[in-house]
Each structure stands twice: as C-alpha cells, then as structure tokens.
Structure 1
Amino acid sequence: MGAEKEFLSGLSTQAIKRLPYYLQYLRTLSDDGVKNVSAPMIAAHFQYTEIQVRKDFAAVSSVKGKPKSGFPIQDLIGSMERILGYHNVDQAVLVGTGLLGKALLSYRQFEEYGLQIVMAFDRNKNNIGKTINGKKIVSQEKIADLCSRMKVSIGIITVPEDQAQIVCDQLIAGGVKAIWNFAPVHLMVDSHILVQNENMAASLALLSKHLQEQMEHDAREE
C-alpha cells in the first residue's frame, strides 16, 4: 500500500484519470497477443503526445521502456490495476433508489474495479425493505449508524438536489471519507473529504455547445 501511495503522489489528477483508458486498451492488446507496447503507438491511439504517454508510463511502470520494444504490457496492466485499487475492495453505500440509483445498483462490473456496493438507502417507505441486485434498501434515517458500524468508506449520492447536502452530512457522520455525487449541486465538506461530482447537466451543456458550434460552422461552409 505504501508503494501505491508513492506512485499516486507522483501522478497528476489528469494522469490518474487517463489510467483507466490506458488500462482498457492495454487489456484489449494483451487479449490479441501483444506483449509490448510503445509510447508512440499509445499516443496515436488516444491522440496524446508521446511525451505525455512516456511520462505517464514511466510513473507507473516498474520496468523502464526500451527504445525498440517499448514497455511490457503485463507489467503496465499489473501496475495500473494496483494503483487504481482494482485489487482492493472498497465498500460503498448508495443513497437514492430512483432510476439512476437502480441502474448503478444493477451494474455488475463495479467489483471488477474494486468497488462493492453493500447497501442502499432511501426515504421512500415503499422502497424500504426491497432488494436490488441483492442489495437491501434501508431507511435513510439509519445512514450514519450503519455506515459507522460497517466501516463504509464511500458514499454514492443519487438523490434530488434539495436532499443531497443532508445525505452528504449523514454519510460523513457515519465515517465516509469519499463521496461520489450524482446530484447537480455543490456539496459543502471539510478538506479531508473527497467529492467526485458527476454533473450530467454540465456534460449535456458541453455537448449542446459543441453541436451548436458545429451547426454554425456547417452553415458558414454552405
């Protein structure tokens, strides 16, 4: 674990975000029988600079890349899986079992990435007591107590905007140190709590802006 922390301390946030994409592509190459991979090959696939790829690979690989053969794929895969925590199992709870919450609870590949959702919470009495993909739905009133007793480290928030901060506070009171937030709201937390926001409204706005710019460009070309 100490070595992994040292690796992470030398990686930028953007580099860490690139690792899962590298890993997925490297696994595909490995399945096709490829043994070694070069920085120019990866850079061309992702349209990154070769310098950026070499820097990322050098930060995670325990073996230096060679000028002709490049980096051993299996070494890169193993290093990236360890750094990303895929060999660990972090327990999480999900709060809010609407359509998005149900979809996340039904996603069976989370455990492949080292995430195990052990329980769900909801304030809707009609949902309490039911199970989704083997995960029991419990009253939101029990968040702090159960998270504390189960030593849960991650909380996933899929509740409406007006409930998100309340739920966040409950999770933190239960000892949760990291929040994966799908609610379109800025959460107020202390500096030692990590919040990863998945703001779909912002993403859609960027898509819409791109499409509008493309339409304007096409109109000028006509």
Structure 2
Amino acid sequence: MSQQPLTVDSNAPHTLTLNLQSLNLTDEQFVQLCRDNRDLRIEMTAKGELIIMPPTGSRTGWRNSKLNQRLANWTDEDGTGLCFDSSTGFTLPDGAKLSPDAAWIRRERWEALSEKEQEGFAPLCPDFAVERRSANDTLSELQDKMSEYIENTARLGWLIDPQSKRVYIYRAQQQEVECLENPKEISGETVLPGFVLNVWELW
C-alpha cells in the first residue's frame, strides 16, 4: 500500500492537533514524517502532540520573506551567529520540536553541535525567535509558543501581529511581556546589537 502525504486544507481556519503520545515517535521518525510532508509545517509539543499547520498564504509568505531577508542581511554583516527561516526545526530542552518564522543562534552554540545534530532538528533553543501571526493562527497559541521559547533559554522573542498592528516583546528573566502599539521599528537590543527592523514592512 503506497504512502500518501498528509493533506490539510489551505483555507482551514486553524491548525490541526493530533495526540500521538501513545506512539512515542523517535526523533528520526519525526524528521522523516516532516520530510514526507514537505508542503506542511509540522511541530510537536513537549507533551507529544503533533501540530499540523496549513501552508501559508501568498501574502504571509511574502511578508515572512521580508523578515528573513532583513535578519539575514544583519547576520551576514555581524558575523557572530547564524539565522534560520521557518523551514528549520529545533528540539527544545523540554522536548518540543518547534519551527519559528525566523530565528538566530550564536555561532559558538551552533558549532558545538555535531554534524548529525545540525542535520536534524537541532537540540537547542534559538537565542532569538520570531513568530508572525498569519490568518490561520490564534493569538493565544502564538503567545504560548513565545513563552515556551523563553522558558527554554531563548534570550529575546518577538510576536508580530499584523491584525492588531502590535508587537509583543519577550525577554529572558522577565515575566512581563511588553506590548508595542503600531511601532515603526523594533530593536534587537543587546541580543542582536545594531539590528533594527522596520515593522511597517510586515503589516
């Protein structure tokens, strides 16, 4: 019997969550599942729930590419780390396997990984993570995700919400989340010194 890739309606309002705790997927099986379904964005929670997200719309993809382009330009000039787009997955210390819309990792942390670890869902949490809300995302889901990054050693996180034109800033060792109303730009602060993003490009 031939294997068929998972299919998700691109017009679906939200993500699909499957409880796969009883299957206890190995890291290798999860990576293969993602490779077999490249058109989908698949993540796994620390509890073993599989999160399947429909493909992004064209407008979202365009805006996300702008975000990654700006981060990549700064990363090339700075040279102290590496940046990653939404096709990259990371295995967080709590076991969750997540793929932020954009991420940055200090070079020494990345180079401390083996080649095998770099090829899979790298076993670390990015120093910096960004999520940009699309029409398929609920704000509460993304807020939980951002909190999880910070709880797993991320130093800075941005949740960009074009629907409300707000940006939520998450910082390590700070419980309070800063909410910026329709900001023109946001800064990478001490984590990404000199990086400034013109947010209006992403609305």
Instruction: Please indicate, yes or no, whether the TM-score normalized by the shorter chain is above 0.5.
Output: no
- Structure 1 or 2: more strand by fraction: 2
Task: Kindly name which structure, 1 or 2, has the bigger radius of gyration based on alpha carbons.
Answer: 1
TM, length-normalised to structure 2: 0.31
Answer 1 or 2: higher relative contact order, Cα 8 Å, separation at least 6.
Answer: 2
TM, length-normalised to structure 1: 0.29
